[in-house]
Amino acid sequence: MSRAERAAERESGVKAADSRTILPGSTIGVLGGGQLGRMLALAGRAMGYRFVTLEPTADSPCGQVADRQLTAAYTDQAAAEELARLSDVITYEFENVDAGVAAMLESASYVPQGSRLLYTTQHRLREKRAIEAAGVQVAPYAEIRSLEELREAVGRFGTPCVLKTATGGYDGKGQWVIRAEKEAEAAYEELSRAGTELVLEQFIRFERELSVIAARSPRGEVRTFPAAENVHVDNILHLSIVPAAAPGDVLARAEQMAARIAEALGVVGLLAVELFQTADGTLYVNELAPRPHNSGHYTMEACKTSQFEQHVRAICNLPLGSTELMTPVVMVNVLGQHVEPLLEWLGKQSEETPDVAVKVHLYGKREAKTGRKMGHVNLLAARTEEALAWVERTGIWRDRSR
């Protein structure tokens, strides 16, 4: 290793030996067979990469489009070893990867994202501390180890405030909005059953929720996608609207914050950063995800490079692509209850939509259970209002809160 390489290594915290370039023709191994892996494989195959996925459920969304699926539990050491043998580089499409498996894969194969980022983002307290260490603000929070500590912190933050489990929560699960001090005991009892540490957050009366996806490659290049404005229904993402309606300087700040966190954490690949924006323009980071993100699906047709192509570029150490937005866009999620009306609409296309390009993505899941993410639609239009009017007009999402 040259002195220059050693100096670059010290500066970036990334091992120079990890900066190898993986060219098309190589095989990318994906831990997890869900829709994120599927869209990653579709983008990567277009570039000439091969894909193998490890996933316990046969005929998975990713397995359907990969060259090969290894059907086994994520914790199956032999299957993970086989994945390592078949792959030139390994990535993951969810963050709750078993630590032992991640360590084994790292020693047996090439995992440029590393296991440290997983370790940080798998735990809300570790994640918050890492964000603060990067000089970025999170909502005021307190670590809770007992009911007394919870009572004290609820008194300090006032109500409402939000009690969350440090690990394992998603789509609003593992959370309790404490609306009055007398609820503290019930909230504590319920959430401490999860057997993980707890964290109390001040309730942020946000004007809107934003997210920014940043990409970083081993060579240290960082790019961010335009911030999306996200609307949740029942704690599940319903819409992403881009450009977001926030003032330009707020959006620029959100994008700078995401880049700063990606740099400070030495991210390789994608990092999704979710934020709350208050009426006075203050931004608080809510949480991170070290992977492609639902709120980045709009990039598939609306940006010069999609989040999935960017992730492939980043982990393979290719130059990152332009993240420029080519058109206003609204992404609307298709949950189980929306599939039938959407298919009906697709079958007859009764609605004339000259002003909106309707790009339907379905993930190949058989069972359309209520609330299950089955696909999404990207709506490209001259103005986001036109895309939102299309969502209303079709009636497909009318019953969206079920």
Binding-site ranges for ligand AMP (CB under 6 A): 139, 162, 169, 172, 201, 203-204, 209, 232, 235, 274, 286-287
Taking the least distance from each CB to ligand AMP, the nearer of 167 and 353 is 167
Q: Closest distance between ligand AMP and the C-beta of residue 75, in Å?
A: 25
Structure tokens at 172: 């609003």
Helix or strand (DSSP H, E) at 91 = strand 89-92
Strands 50-55, 68-71: pairing kind: parallel
**Residues 185, 79: Cα–Cα separation, whole Å:** 44
Taking the least distance from each CB to ligand AMP, the nearer of 157 and 363 is 157
Q: Closest distance between ligand AMP and the C-beta of residue 369, in Å?
A: 20
Place of tokens 């039938």: 340
Taking the least distance from each CB to ligand AMP, the nearer of 169 and 341 is 169
Whether 149 contacts 188, CB under 8 Å: no
Q: What are the φ and ψ backbone dihedral angles of 366, each rounded to 5 degrees?
A: -75, -50
Taking the least distance from each CB to ligand AMP, the nearer of 110 and 203 is 203
Taking the least distance from each CB to ligand AMP, the nearer of 235 and 322 is 235
End-to-end CA distance of the chain: 59
Q: Closest distance between ligand AMP and the C-beta of residue 204, in Å?
A: 4
Q: Closest distance between ligand AMP and the C-beta of residue 173, in Å?
A: 8
Q: Closest distance between ligand AMP and the C-beta of residue 286, in Å?
A: 5
- Would you call the peptide bond into 24 cis, given omega within 30 degrees of 0 as the criterion? no
**Would you call 156 helix, strand, or coil by DSSP?**
helix
Taking the least distance from each CB to ligand AMP, the nearer of 109 and 295 is 295
Q: Closest distance between ligand AMP and the C-beta of residue 301, in Å?
A: 25
Whether 230 contacts 295, CB under 8 Å: yes
Whether 260 contacts 273, CB under 8 Å: no
Q: What are the φ and ψ backbone dihedral angles of 159, each rounded to 5 degrees?
A: -110, 155
